[in-house]
Structure 1
Amino acid sequence: MAIPVETFYLNPDGQGTLQAQIQQMIAAGILSGRFRVGEKLPSSRKLARHLGVSRITVTLAYTELLANDYLVSRGRSGYFVSENAPIPPTYDPPAATEDNVDWSRALARSFTGGDTPRKPADWHSFRFPFIYGQADPTLFDHANWRLCALRALGQRDFASMTGDYYDEDDPLLVEFIARNTLPRRGITARPTEILITLGAQNALWLTAQILLNRRRKAAIEDPCYYSLRDLLMQARCPLTPVAVDADGLPPAAIPDDTDVIFTTPSHQSPTTATMPLDRRRALLDRAREIDALIIEDDYEFEMAFLGAPSPALKSLDRDGRVIYIGSFSKSLFPGLRLGYLVGSEAFIREARALRASVLRHPPGHIQRTAAYFLSLGHYDAQIRRMASVLHRRRRTIEKAIEEHGLTVAGRGVYGGSSLWMQAPPGSDTARLAEILRERSVLIEPGAPFFAGEDRPTHFYRLGYSSIPSSRIPEGIHRIAQALAS
């Protein structure tokens, strides 16, 4: 790889001769890790023209660096960074200027902090990753995804890759969602009632921005998806956590002055409880009674391998007060960042305008690739393959849990990809997670899912979407050992 000549510039306040300054500039690039072993430097003629100096000055600088083993000459090919050059392992550039800004006063709002934990980026290097929401590369159809991506790159689809949709979406993807995905949940929607988002997180953010402010009140499940709680805290709306039970969110516990209700009825996050049909109808009645809107996050409905899932809350809605959120992150892969909002046309119109002002639309090429993958049947084949594998893993993990006497606090009626676990009272699963990391086991502590200061510390979540069945028994054995000790 050649180093672009534009990378080089002389410091107007530089000291010493031009030759010395050029030597120092190149050596500093090598020592900082910006210039790597084997990379080619610009020719002396090109660099001299770029810097506005004589060619002999650059040649002398290169010769000196050659003598000091920073560079190596390869015949007529030019100068390259030497293998013997003292290069640091990573590139960590120094601060360009001194930061004299008082950011505690300059920042109008803060978005750091909150409850959302950072999952380890190297989770795949752990032997027993009971971590939720990560894709198993062995289950993904790479070959057909690649073919769909190549098709989307073709001349016929050039406009979808390069065009600016402004506030619109790929019509093929919207049509597939309307004709195939939503009917599986009993939902009928027109294209004008569907909006593609950058995953469910983006859909939740758009919804909160449109429906909530400091005067409008929201009710959330407790425990709940921690990123949702952080997002609503940033919206600065009054927030009421409502404790869930074995059937999910209890409608009678929702305060009378609630404006927006957030719920995960199919797989309650994180307990995985499935809301029965009678309670779903009761929740709709309660929302009608207090004139509230319902945000239904149906994040994992495709993972129903134990039986057909219950109808979506949106499919039972006759007032237009349910806004439905779906995502392809769990069924395809998290890095895809494609989800969708379904709601009344008036709401989707506002969501579309807000999305356009922030990011226009999700990349057209990604939308078209997903549309081909879905419409050509590859998606359905993948769902069937994942369901079969997850079913086997579910049987394996439940058997191992029973053998080691661990306690399951919640399991999805129709499947899912995680179990909500309960350690003995008084346990600190955050500390447990630290101990297990040293034993190559990853679990998720449960405290961040709960609201308030006095949070229970003895819950934890075990995901099984990323760990092969053959490793599950040993992983559970290590968890049981750590709890016992």
Structure 2
Amino acid sequence: MARRRSTPLIRLSRDDNEPLYRQLRNGLVAAIEAGTLGPGDLLPSSRTLALELDVSRNTANLALQELVTEGFIQSIDRVGYVVSQEVGPFVQARREPPGIPIDWDVRFRHPTDPYPHMRKPPNWSDYSYPFVVGQPDPSLFPTRAWNRAGRAALDGENRSISLSDLIDQDDQLLTTLLCERILPARGISATPDQILVSLGSQQGLFLVAHALVGSSSRVGVEDPGYPDARHIFSRRRGTLRAMPIDDQGILVEGTTSGLDVVFVTPSHQYPTNVTLAVGRRQQLLTAAADDDFVVIEDDYDAEFRYQGQPTPALKAMDETGRVVYLGSFSKFLAPGLRLGYIVADAPLIEHLRDIRRYMLRHPAGILQRTTALMIESGDYAASVRKTRIAVKDKWERASSGLATHLPEWNIPTQTGGLSIWVPGPSGFDATGLARLALGRGIVIEPGNVCFLNEPRPVNYFKLGFSGIAADSIEPGIAALATLIEDQT
């Protein structure tokens, strides 16, 4: 027969943020841990608990029901609540020293890689002169247009698409508009079955690498190049080969034999912003066919060209389906939205769709439909134009500021991108400069992380201009030049 126990000493506080029923639940668990209530013991009734602890009976019942759900107690007809016989191991474990902590390092099946990471201060916007790369000015975000599209995405027939589980599919309106409005501007002809929506172009790259790169794969990467691409390929166990960059873009001749994949940023090469010359483009496509490799084109900021028209995508010249195109909305709207897309032959897209399904199913429906409605209304195109004008002004100020304050460096200025690649004199230490600059409220990004092999040159840095206030660019460069003069 169950032993009836008196109400254990439990202190409840109405000033505590924790609800009373949770305090009561915790108090009863503590009594079980301490042995005041043991297996088979009969607990006071909810009425008794309520009276003795000065709480409502509903509060007592909530606490008891939670303990039943968790398995601490059980309800027996015409008897009441008794402590479960199964709590013995729980109580014993609480009375013994904790076991050996788990060693997570030995359990990781996909180790990290040896390459350095890009870093920037988490609070970069708090600095006086944040020359960070790839961060647009939040004031340029089309808030009204986005809110208008977001409200429409939850109305009428849009609502079901926005809120439904699409399983492995994408918003058909978005993929259709990509084919009709966005891709033609890049010279690309595609159908919806050749498009997969991703959480930004970086997830797109991860999906493609997951599908195409393994331990036997040889991957050509631009050098200097995009560090995160190196990390993604390396973590797929691919062997990386550096492909040099000059003022015409990636060097193709004599560099592609034996490769399985080549990763390029032809519109604005990262980090130099050089545009891949048309002759080199054709060389690359010809080599891809002759040497049987796939080209991954990351077209991350093609719209940001400030002189002349944006160069058509490499994918626009692709007649064999060997180019996998990565596009993004992040640089034109906001990186925090994390929305991009992949354009490739339908069989590859279906394979990527299967991979994505068991990773995250699909990007949020409401995000896809809101973006689609912005494109459909013309607000997206208007926002791109407005942003390009504002960023062009910053590009001009940054170019002028460098020419004025560092004239002897002869810094090459490209006609597009969101940053300027600054090569310092031989022997100059840009990594040391970046550390000193932080102390003066200036954020720059060292360029050594962009090089594949050791020893990595340390005389380069990236000067981003998209996220800094326009009026801060010239004085920021002036302050940086003073710091450089003091250092040299």
Q: 1:411 aligns with which of 413, 421, 428?
A: 413
- Aligned-partner Cα distance in 2 for 1:408–1:330: 28
What TM-score results when the alignment is normalised by the length of structure 1? 0.81
- Aligned-partner Cα distance in 2 for 1:99–1:47: 38
Match of 1:300 in 2: 301
- Aligned-partner Cα distance in 1 for 2:150–2:315: 32
Q: Is the 8 A contact 2:402 2:411 kept in 1?
A: no
3-state SS of the aligned residue for 1:294? strand
Match of 2:347 in 1: 346
Q: Is the 8 A contact 1:327 1:339 kept in 2?
A: yes
Match of 1:203 in 2: 204
Match of 2:132 in 1: 131
Match of 1:247 in 2: 248
CA drift of 1:256 comes to 0.9
CA drift of 1:237 comes to 1.1
Match of 1:358 in 2: 359
Match of 2:94 in 1: none
3-state SS of the aligned residue for 2:249? coil
- Aligned-partner Cα distance in 2 for 1:115–1:411: 26
CA drift of 1:353 comes to 0.9
Match of 1:232 in 2: 233
Q: Is residue 336 of structure 2 the alignment partner of residue 335 of structure 1?
A: yes
Q: Is the 8 A contact 1:408 1:421 kept in 2?
A: no
Q: Deviations over 1:220-247 (max 9, x none)?
A: 0011110100111100011111111111
AA aligned opposite 2:62: H
- Aligned-partner Cα distance in 2 for 1:6–1:351: 48
Match of 1:10 in 2: 26
- Aligned-partner Cα distance in 1 for 2:446–2:383: 30
Q: Is the 8 A contact 1:271 1:409 kept in 2?
A: no
Q: 1:44 to 1:213 in 2, by over 3 A?
A: same
CA drift of 1:168 comes to 0.8
Match of 1:421 in 2: 422
3-state SS of the aligned residue for 2:466? coil
AA aligned opposite 1:193: Q
The 5 A counterparts of 1:368-379 are: 368-379=369-380
Q: 2:63 aligns with which of 47, 51, 73?
A: 51
CA drift of 1:408 comes to 5.8
What TM-score results when the alignment is normalised by the length of structure 2? 0.81
Q: Deviations over 1:142-179 (max 9, x none)?
A: 11111111111224322112211111100111111100
Q: Is residue 107 of structure 2 the alignment partner of residue 106 of structure 1?
A: yes
- Aligned-partner Cα distance in 1 for 2:376–2:99: 54
Match of 1:222 in 2: 223
Match of 1:87 in 2: none
Match of 2:462 in 1: 461
Q: 1:7 to 1:391 in 2, by over 3 A?
A: farther
Q: Is the 8 A contact 1:115 1:227 kept in 2?
A: no
- Aligned-partner Cα distance in 1 for 2:17–2:456: 55
CA drift of 1:362 comes to 0.3
Q: Is residue 468 of structure 2 the alignment partner of residue 452 of structure 1?
A: no
CA drift of 1:111 comes to 3.8
Match of 2:476 in 1: 475
Q: Is the 8 A contact 1:446 1:459 kept in 2?
A: yes
Match of 1:381 in 2: 382
**How many residues are paired up?**
417
- Aligned-partner Cα distance in 2 for 1:482–1:13: 61
**Unaligned runs of at least 5 residues, structure 1:** 19-42, 54-96
- Aligned-partner Cα distance in 2 for 1:138–1:158: 29
Q: Deviations over 1:318-356 (max 9, x none)?
A: 111111110011011001111110011111111111111
3-state SS of the aligned residue for 1:252? coil
3-state SS of the aligned residue for 2:274? coil
- Aligned-partner Cα distance in 2 for 1:390–1:227: 24
Q: Is the 8 A contact 2:113 2:231 kept in 1?
A: no
Q: Percent identity?
A: 34
Q: Is the 8 A contact 1:218 1:258 kept in 2?
A: yes
Q: CA RMSD in A?
A: 2.3
Q: Deviations over 1:390-430 (max 9, x none)?
A: 111111111111111253655333x2211000122222222
CA drift of 1:17 comes to 12
Q: Deviations over 1:119-152 (max 9, x none)?
A: 2221111111110111212111111111111111
CA drift of 1:435 comes to 1.0
CA drift of 1:114 comes to 4.0
Match of 1:434 in 2: 435
Q: 1:239 to 1:5 in 2, by over 3 A?
A: farther
CA drift of 1:102 comes to 2.0
- Aligned-partner Cα distance in 1 for 2:430–2:127: 18
- Aligned-partner Cα distance in 2 for 1:350–1:219: 23
- Aligned-partner Cα distance in 1 for 2:111–2:183: 37
AA aligned opposite 1:285: T
